[in-house]
Amino acid sequence: EVQLQASGGGLVQAGGSLRLSCAASGFRFDDYVIGWFRQAPGKEREEVSCIDPSDGSTYYGDSVKGRFTISSENAKKMVWLQMNSLKPEDTAVYYCAAGIGIRLGAPPLMYDYWGRGTQVTVSS
């Protein structure tokens, strides 16, 4: 069974940090790009970051460059998103997704599997 379990969300003050985790199972981890997406109420789903575990290459959305860092530990089939200098506009449900054979920065429709997401709330 394919599973993507996102965790680590919570409430944090502006300027603070959170680390999100994505635990993957049920598929060949190295064959998939793993992406973090977020969606706030009334807004379009936005790609935050993604990583290709086969070579470690990464992509970051413009709004999070310099603040967020994505990483993976392939043996554990884990992906993390370290979020620093958080802003209120980062508030959203964050989803972990996996897509096979896709480019970094691919749109959400190209991803094959999705987790349920974890809520991140940044207060001012």
Residue pLDDT, tens place only, 15-26: 999 999 999 999
For residue range 68-78, list pLDDT tens digits in order.
999 999 999 99
Q: What are phi and psi of 55, to 5 degrees?
A: -135, -5
Pick from 49, 38, 50: which is nearest to 92 by CA? Answer: 38
- Cβ count within 10 A of residue 41: 7
Q: Which residues of the chain have pLDDT under 50?
A: none
CA distance linking residue 44 with residue 63, whole number of Å = 14
pLDDT at 64: 97
CA distance linking residue 68 with residue 86, whole number of Å = 9
Helix, strand, coil proportions of the chain in percent (round to 5)? Answer: 10, 50, 40
